[in-house]
Amino acid sequence: MARPYEVVYIFDPALDEETINSKLTHFHSLLPSATGEAAQFNHWGRRTLAYQIKKRDTGYYVIATFSAEPTQLPEFERAIKLEDAVMRHLVVLNEEPPTPPNYAAVKPAETEEEDDE
């Protein structure tokens, strides 16, 4: 049974968008979708990193959502690890709908009850 996953890629910022798209296409071609849906990509672009990775201060972020069988993930992650252009990646099971790119959690205002006695 296919399950929904989300993967965050941090690519080398020296790469152009065309090269990044070709690498993403290659990675996701390793995951034949049982549902027939293609992976959806959300390019966040170049962002400053919280700490240096491979002596780089910036990285190109891409968020991808896809459905796959859990048995297909080891080969998928192996291909990502072997690619030098990917500085970091994280694959997570995504049971909830995808988070919009500019989503910020808003804390509800606390209500104060006044006692009139």
Q: How far apart are CA 78 and CA 117, in angstroms?
A: 68
**Residues of the chain where predicted confidence (pLDDT) is lower than 70:** 33-36, 97-117
Q: Which of 51, 57, 53, 64 is nearest to 88 (CA)?
A: 53
pLDDT of residue 98: 59
pLDDT at 32: 73
Phi/psi class of residue 21: alpha, beta or left (left: φ > 0; alpha: ψ in -120 to 50)?
A: alpha
Q: pLDDT tens-digit profile of 22-47?
A: 998 898 888 876 556 788 888 998 99
Q: Which residues contact 9 (CB under 8 A, 6 or more apart)?
A: 24, 61, 62, 63, 64, 80, 86, 88, 89
Burial of 41 (0-12, 13-18, 19+ CB in 10 A): middle
Query: Considering only CA atoms, which of 83, 81, 38, 41 is closest in space to residue 61?
Result: 41
Q: What CATH number does domain 3-93 carry, 3.20.20.105, 3.90.640.10, 3.40.50.300, 3.30.70.60?
A: 3.30.70.60
What pLDDT does 72 receive?
Answer: 87
Question: What local confidence, expressed as pLDDT, does residue 63 receive?
Answer: 92
